[in-house]
Amino acid sequence: MGALMGGKPKEGAAPVSAGVRSLMRGHQTSAPGAAPRPVLPRWYLLAGDVLLVALALLTIYKSPHPLSWPRGLFCAALVMLAAGLAVLALLTPGSNAGHRSE
């Protein structure tokens, strides 16, 4: 391209400032090798777990007995979803407040 414009590519080019260099390099929010912050805090997932189990218990106690199979399936699905949220909460990297690993 420099030959087409009648000069070398670096001749006459304005110096690149530090801001432009950082934009071209990309945005790094944390040090390399650091674990990414979780999108949701753990306690949100655990609170959702408790609420889902509470909804299942409320459904069981307020429904006429014996439970119909759709209501039983609904309660089982709620408990399984709550278990999935609990596992997800335990597997997400937590914030080690006050603990620095160096």
Q: Read off the pLDDT of residues 47-65 as tens digits, 9 standing for 90 and up.
A: 999 999 999 999 999 989 8
First to last CA, the chain: 49
In degrees and rounded to multiples of 5, residue 53 shows phi and psi of: -65, -40
What pLDDT does residue 20 have? 78
pLDDT band for position 22 (50/70/90)? confident
CA 23: distance to chain centroid?
25
Find the length of the chain: 102
